[in-house]
Amino acid sequence: MLAFEPRRLAKKARFGGSGLVDGHGDVSSLRELWADIGNLKVRYLDWGGDGQPLLALHGLASSAHWYDIVAPLLRDRYHIYAPDQRGHGQTTSAPDGYDWKTLSDDMVGLMDHIGLDQMAVMGHSWGGNVATNLAANAPDRVSRLIMIDGGFLDGRLFPGATWEAFSHRVRPRDVTGNREEFLGRLRNQLGVIWNEDIERIVQTMVYEDEDGEIQDILRPENHAQTIRAMWDEPASMTMPRIECPTLIVPAGPTPERAGTEFAETRRRMVDAAEKGLKNGRVHWISETIHDIGYHKPQELAQVIGDFLAEG
């Protein structure tokens, strides 16, 4: 019995076990599993295989399915586990626990449930922050760390930084409207890279309410807790505490954004994170979007695989 019932997903976003489809190869070994961790019922995807275990953490207001395009490209070498984190996807929508320590403990609990003492960990966007804090708080549990366009965001490095400005910048995205309106906006934003896989994936992050309107599964009050943690305990406090080899994989700006204040601020954040790490380096993926796994999955998988192979 769930402590807090998960919200209903959008109609097209109902998946389960063998019903998962990724469009990029055989998914017969992909399993949907559950773990009881404290007061959470955590849903996670197990991609199977006998390779090195790799924990894949999604971003804010996202889901485990963010990795559905990248994971099949790595499955022949790595055994990937991708959970829906606290308050996301089909995992319990707990009313609290969105601080870095609790989020890290959730993942330690998942590793204990799986029966693994140590794993390589990768995180996209906010998942990169969870991954870095996991590595800092439980150094014996993380062998190598990959930050996919995330984990380095430091709100205090924005020009004229204030909590009010930062919280506005990372406010919940606009998901207003019905399912077709929601998908239409994303289709326009992503343009030529839009495909059936992405259409399916993005629907695992939202649900359809009683009026047919789309809502983020991550509740606004829980979103607020996560961004407060990002402000109160920024990346600069975490990087020096990480011991394991770490790779930062930032998204290089597309041509129309190159040279903008935002692009330069991001570069400063990446540089600051690299300098703060004891054993870190950076690999930029050029001219791409924040969701690198949608736009350049093959290149991202190659970068991940090459780094993990060093260990």
Give per-residue pLDDT as tens, 127-160: 999 999 999 999 999 999 999 999 999 999 998 8
Give residue 134's Cα distance to chain centre: 14
Q: Please report the pLDDT score of residue 141 as a whole number.
A: 99
DSSP reduced 3-state for 125 = coil
Q: Please report the pLDDT score of residue 125 as a whole number.
A: 98
DSSP letters, 285-301, are B-S--S-HHHH-HHHHH
Give the number of residues written for the chain: 311
Exposed e or buried b for every residue in 114-125, given b needs 16+ CB within 10 A?
beeeebbbbbbb
Stretches in the chain below the pLDDT threshold 70:
1-29
Q: What is the pLDDT of residues 212-234, one digit of tens each?
A: 999 999 999 999 999 999 999 99
Q: Position of tokens 């007061």?
A: 39
Q: Please report the pLDDT score of residue 7 as a whole number.
A: 40
Taken in order of first residue, the domains within the chain and their CATH numbers are 11-309 (3.40.50.1820)
Exposed e or buried b for every residue in 233-267, given b needs 16+ CB within 10 A?
ebbbebbeebebbbbbbbbbbeeeeeeeeeeebbe
Q: What is the pLDDT of residues 177-225, one digit of tens each?
A: 999 999 999 999 999 999 999 999 999 999 999 999 999 999 999 999 9
CA dist list (Å): 255 to 163, 224, 286: 30, 32, 10
40-46 and 78-83 beta bridge pairing: antiparallel
Q: Please report the pLDDT score of residue 269 as a whole number.
A: 96
Q: Please report the pLDDT score of residue 132 as a whole number.
A: 99
User: What gap in Å lies between CA 309 and CA 311, rounded to an integer?
Assistant: 5
Q: Please report the pLDDT score of residue 50 as a whole number.
A: 82
Q: Which of 24, 52, 55 is nearest to 42 (CA)?
A: 55
